[in-house]
Amino acid sequence: MQVIVRENNVDQALRVLKRKMQREGVFREIRARRGYEKPSEKRIREHAEAVRRHRKMAKKKLQREGLLPLPKKTVRAR
């Protein structure tokens, strides 16, 4: 993973790196490898993740079809 540091602004580059790592699931992977996970706990976790993904996809589908309002876009100051 690579992040470009602009104008010696290391704090901003660090925030960008953390955001990229969060999106890639690096922190979740580290937490998962920290100790042994029982097969029953793994099954429960994977099922919960599948339910979360399914609900997210269903919500996005309803938003595209116009049955749910779209999320409001936030304006960032530069």
**Does residue 75 lie within any of the structural domains?**
no
What mean pLDDT comes out for the span 60-78?
86
**Does residue 10 lie within any of the structural domains?**
yes
pLDDT class of 75 with cuts at 50, 70, 90: confident
DSSP structure string for 14-59: HHHHHHHHHHHTHHHHHHHHTS---HHHHHHHHHHHHHHHHHHHHH
- 12: containing domain: 1-35
**Does residue 17 lie within any of the structural domains?**
yes
pLDDT at 77: 74
**35 vs 17: CA distance, rounded Å:** 25
Q: Provide the number of structural domains found in the chain.
A: 2
Taking the model in full, what pTM does it have? 0.57
Residues 49 and 19 in one domain: no
**Does residue 73 lie within any of the structural domains?**
no
Residues 51 and 29 in one domain: no
pLDDT class of 1 with cuts at 50, 70, 90: confident
Span 11-60, pLDDT tens digits? 999 999 999 999 999 998 898 889 898 999 999 999 999 999 999 999 99
Residues 28 and 45 in one domain: no
